[in-house]
Amino acid sequence: SAVISQKPSRDICQRGTSLTIQCQVDSQVTMMFWYRQQPGQSLTLIATANQGSEATYESGFVIDKFPISRPNLTFSTLTVSNMSPEDSSIYLCSVAGNANTGELFFGEGSRLTVL
Amino acid sequence: AQSVTQLGSHVSVSEGALVLLRCNYSSSVPPYLFWYVQYPNQGLQLLLKYTSAATLVKGINGFEAEFKKSETSFHLTKPSAHMSDAAEYFCAVSERHGTDKLIFGTGTRLQVFP
């Protein structure tokens, strides 16, 4: 299993500002995934981040709005840019389990409220 | 493309009663299937997974799920509900030989009454 730490755990932000969420994993992983969970809804994949290459974004998500960094095999950041109240969500970092089981491990999430 | 459908956004049971949470999947290739649980204000925790071994999968906390290819289903059950089972449950699917990204269902909120 992997232990995933996210910062901040929660924040209240003003409209128009940007916030960067950090994700630290206790082991080296190839792929990291960023999900969004809007209030009362399920998880939606934002992008897949591989070390050494640009992130791959899912339909409906763009790099200008959600830039991602992946500087090494244990760390990634997701920035939510030019925030609006619609961006109020929980943002979760996840990593694939070992042995190619398809399982994902999740951090506890970063709960953002945009006023 | 893969997808999962969870029937029933809310399920309520009495303590000690059978829990049945429904999940149907769509996949063009044999899938991996998962059930995750999310307790209030916490992250997701894996309950169990199906990865082509036994079709009846046992997980943590007394939960189990059966993969039925003919019905494209992966329903989650527990014989006797506990108050502590109250949470949000998500079914998820991934490609067997894909990129490990998971596609989640819309979730089912389980309430357990005394």
Distance (Å) from the alpha carbon of B81 to chain A's nearest alpha carbon: 23
Q: List pLDDT tens digits, range B54-78.
A: 889 999 999 999 999 999 999 999 9
Which of B27, B11, B34, B3 has the alpha carbon at shortest distance from B86? B11
Q: A100 by DSSP, 3-state: which? A: helix
Query: Tell me, what's the pLDDT at B16?
Result: 97
Indicate if the pLDDT at residue A30 is higher than 60: yes
Q: A101 contacts in B (CB within 8 Å)?
A: 32, 49, 51
Least CB-CB distance to B101: which of A48, A100, A109? A48
B52 pLDDT more than 80: no
Taking all residues of chain A, what is their mean pLDDT, rounded to a whole number? 91
User: Quick one: how many helices (H) and strands (E) in chain A?
Assistant: 0, 11
Residue B21 has pLDDT above 90, yes or no: yes
Write down the pLDDT at residue A99: 57
Mind listing the pLDDT tens digit for each residue in A64-112? 999 999 999 999 999 999 999 999 999 999 998 755 667 888 999 999 9
CB contact under 8 A, B49 and A31: no
Residue A69 tokens read as 């960094």
* B20 CB neighbour count, 10 Å cutoff: 12
Write out the DSSP string of B33-50: EEEEEE-TTS-EEEEEEE
